[in-house]
Chains A and B, each alone.
Chain A
Amino acid sequence: QQQVKQSPQSLIVQKGGISIINCAYENTAFDYFPWYQQFPGKGPALLIAIRPDVSEKKEGRFTISFNKSAKQFSLHIMDSQPGDSATYFCAARGAFGNEKLTFGTGTRLTIIP
Chain B
Amino acid sequence: DAGITQSPRHKVTETGTPVTLRCHQTENHRYMYWYRQDPGHGLRLIHYSYGVKDTDKGEVSDGYSVSRSKTEDFLLTLESATSSQTSVYFCAISRTSGGQETQYFGPGTRLLVL
Contacts and interface: CB of A to CB of B under 8 A. Distances in A.
Nearest to B103: A101
B104 interface: yes
B17 interface: no
B96 A44 contact: no
Contacts, number: 56
Contacts of A41: 108
Interface in A95-111: 97-98, 100-101, 103-106
A51 B99 CA distance: 11
Main secondary structure of the interface of A (DSSP, over half): loop
A106 B42 contact: yes
B106 A43 contact: yes
Interface in B73-114: 90, 92, 94, 96-98, 100-108
Contacts of A98: 30-31, 50, 94, 101
B19 interface: no
A6 B41 CA distance: 11
A45 interface: yes
Contact of A105 (B31, B42, B50, B58): B42
Interface in A80-97: 89, 97
Interface in B36-92: 40-45, 48, 50, 58, 90, 92
B42 A104 contact: yes
A45 B1 CA distance: 8
A46 B96 contact: no
Interface of B: 1, 4, 30-31, 33, 40-45, 48, 50, 58, 90, 92, 94, 96-98, 100-108
Nearest 10 interchain pairs by C-beta: A97-B101, A43-B105, A103-B42, A105-B42, A103-B43, A44-B105, A98-B31, A106-B42, A43-B107, A43-B108
21 contacts: A6-B42, A34-B103, A42-B108, A43-B1, A43-B92, A43-B107, A43-B108, A44-B43, A49-B102, A89-B43, A97-B94, A97-B96, A97-B101, A98-B30, A98-B94, A98-B101, A100-B33, A100-B45, A100-B48, A103-B43, A103-B44
